[in-house]
């Protein structure tokens, strides 16, 4: 990979759309490893794979590596770091994120979704 060999930045949109979660985790570990990445190449990626949050610390992501995106009702998106929150080493960040502790979780209007699906089914 050119970025690892020469240094630089690799930007990947939706890392999880092309890689198995274990391969995505291995790619993160590759970029984080001083031995395997001696030129300090950076990996910047977006992902909906919350399992990558479960690999905080060690060879995976650190708290300061993780940024979240919160979409507002007017369609704008706010980007903020996980370091805005008090995260302890024993926290299960993935579970806490999915539980809404850090925001950036879509709100679902189940009633509207079900009504819309019923309308479509009746129209067909």
* pTM of the predicted model as reported, rounded to 2 decimal places: 0.78
12: β partners: 45
Residue ranges per domain, the chain? 2-123
Using CB atoms within 10 Å of the CB of residue 60, give its burial: 0 to 12 exposed, 13 to 18 middle, 19+ buried.
Answer: middle
pLDDT in tens, 61-88: 888 999 999 988 888 999 999 999 999 8
For each of the chain's 124 residues, which pLDDT tens digit applies? 899 999 999 999 999 888 898 898 899 989 999 999 999 999 999 999 888 887 565 556 888 999 999 988 888 999 999 999 999 888 889 999 999 999 998 877 788 888 888 998 888 7
For residue 31, what pLDDT is reported?
94
């Amino acid at each position: 990979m050119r970025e690892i060999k020469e240094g630089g930045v690799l930007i990947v949109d939706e890392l999880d759309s092309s890689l198995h979660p274990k391969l995505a985790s291995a790619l993160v570990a590759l970029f984080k490893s001083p031995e395997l990445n001696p030129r300090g190449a950076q990996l910047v990626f977006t992902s909906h794979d919350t399992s990558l949050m479960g690999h905080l610390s060690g060879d995976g992501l650190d708290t300061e590596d993780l940024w979240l995106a919160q979409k507002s009702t007017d369609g704008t998106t706010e980007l903020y770091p996980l370091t805005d929150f008090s995260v302890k080493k024993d926290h299960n960040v993935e579970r806490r994120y999915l539980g809404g502790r850090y925001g950036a979780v879509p709100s679902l209007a189940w009633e509207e979704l079900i009504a819309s699906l019923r309308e479509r089914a009746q129209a067909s």
